[in-house]
């Protein structure tokens, strides 16, 4: 019973198209993480926020993704130009503290790039 | 760097059998260790969490002990049920300026009735 809401649950895009997904963190949680989970169940950290500020992101995210967590609006992650290798489950997780805290995950957005 | 090793990709058991999932980690300092469980179609959810302060965690019949000597955090359950079938992840939360959890590759547990 996820309290973290992710939309849409499924997303199908052609190569080169933009793909945007959203996340509403659990109420009161200022920290948000985005992960990519591939078909082998491996997790890749993409980016994290505390309130509206980016804490850290990987090189791929900086170059090809656009992400934000505006005040009083859902967080979003957008791939600017989708590639076949982007097909994966994108998970959003929120927590109360930046370090060492339990992360509460949403159900994910499953992206398929054709 | 930080790493987590789960050698067992899949474990298959019958109901009421004993479960043991191996997890070892590598880091500096004193991390927080987690076990998360992921059911089909859902995001991971916390199963248990252990810090250096408490050394052992338990939840829903599952137990894990933080062993700094062997840098291990194995997961155990005395008697599994079919409903325990899921993927289990050992996760390392290493303290530091650029905190981001490190996930193991996951162990898929299949329990037959």
Which candidate in B87, B98, B100, B102 is best for mutational testing of the A interface (most A CBs within 10 A)? B100
Collapsing DSSP states into helix, strand and coil, what is residue A86?
Answer: helix
Containing H/E element for A97?
A: none
Tell me whether B54 touches chain A (CB under 8 Å).
Answer: no
CA distances to B23, B40, B87 from B75, rounded to whole Å, are 8, 20, 12
- 3-state SS of B42-83? CCCEEEEEECCCCCEEEECCEEEECECCCCECCEEECCCCHH
Contact A100 B93 (CB under 8 A): yes
Contact assessment for residue B111 and residue B16, using Cβ atoms and an 8 Å cutoff = no
| A58-71 pLDDT per residue, tens | 988 889 999 999 99
Q: Is B113 on the interface with A (CB under 8 A)?
A: no
Per-residue model confidence (pLDDT) at position A2: 56
Per-residue b or e along B63-87, where b marks 16 or more CB atoms closer than 10 Å to that residue's CB: bbebeeeebbbbbebeebeeebbbb
Contact B96, B31 (CB under 8 A): no
What share of chain A has pLDDT > 90, as a percent?
91
pLDDT score for B98: 82
Q: What is the pLDDT of residues A20-44, one digit of tens each?
A: 999 999 999 999 999 999 999 999 9
Task: Give the pLDDT band of residue A1 (cuts 50, 70, 90).
Answer: low
Q: Beta-carbon neighbour count of residue B24 at 10 Å?
A: 17
Q: Is B46 on the interface with A (CB under 8 A)?
A: yes
pLDDT in tens, chain B (113 residues): 899 999 899 999 999 999 999 999 999 888 999 999 999 999 999 999 998 788 899 999 999 998 888 999 999 999 999 999 999 999 999 887 788 999 999 999 999 99
**pLDDT tens across A68-94, in order?**
999 989 999 999 999 999 999 999 999
From the list B48, B41, B34, the residue with the least C-alpha distance to B6 is B34
What confidence score (pLDDT) does residue A82 get? 97
Quote the pLDDT of residue A109. Answer: 98
Residue B40 has a pLDDT of 94
| Partner-chain residue, chosen from A33, A41, A100, that has the shortest CB–CB distance to B87 | A41
B106 contacts chain A (CB < 8 A): yes
* Class of residue B22 by CB neighbours under 10 A (exposed 0-12, middle 13-18, buried 19+): middle
Contacts of residue A62, defined as CB under 8 A and 6 or more positions apart, other chains included, come to none
Contact between A56 and B93 using a beta-carbon 8 Å cutoff: no
| Planar angle of CA B104, B109, B110, nearest 5 degrees | 155
Which positions 10-39 of A are in contact with B (Cβ < 8 Å)?
A: 33
Q: Does B95 touch chain A (CB under 8 A)?
A: yes
Q: Does B76 touch chain A (CB under 8 A)?
A: no
């Amino acid at each position: 019973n996820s309290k973290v809401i992710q939309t849409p649950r499924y997303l199908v895009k052609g190569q080169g198209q933009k793909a945007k997904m959203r996340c509403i963190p659990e109420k009161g949680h200022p920290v948000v993480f985005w992960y990519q989970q591939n078909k082998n169940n491996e997790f890749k950290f993409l980016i994290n926020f505390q309130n509206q500020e980016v804490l850290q992101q990987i090189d791929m995210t900086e170059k090809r993704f656009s992400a934000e967590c505006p005040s009083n609006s859902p967080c979003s992650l957008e791939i600017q130009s989708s590639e076949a290798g982007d097909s994966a489950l994108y998970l959003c997780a929120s927590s109360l503290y930046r370090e060492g805290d339990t992360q509460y995950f949403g159900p994910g957005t499953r992206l398929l790039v054709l | 760097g930080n790493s987590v090793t789960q050698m067992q990709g899949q474990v298959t058991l019958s109901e009421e059998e004993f479960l043991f999932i191996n997890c070892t980690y590598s880091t500096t300092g004193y991390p927080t260790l987690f076990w998360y469980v992921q059911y089909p179609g859902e995001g991971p959810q916390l199963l248990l969490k252990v810090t250096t302060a408490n050394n052992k965690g338990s939840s829903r019949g599952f137990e894990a002990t933080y062993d700094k000597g062997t840098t291990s955090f194995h997961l155990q359950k005395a008697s599994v049920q079919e409903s325990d079938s899921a993927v289990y992840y050992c996760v390392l939360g290493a303290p530091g300026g650029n905190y981001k959890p490190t996930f193991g590759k996951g162990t898929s547990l299949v329990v037959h009735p």
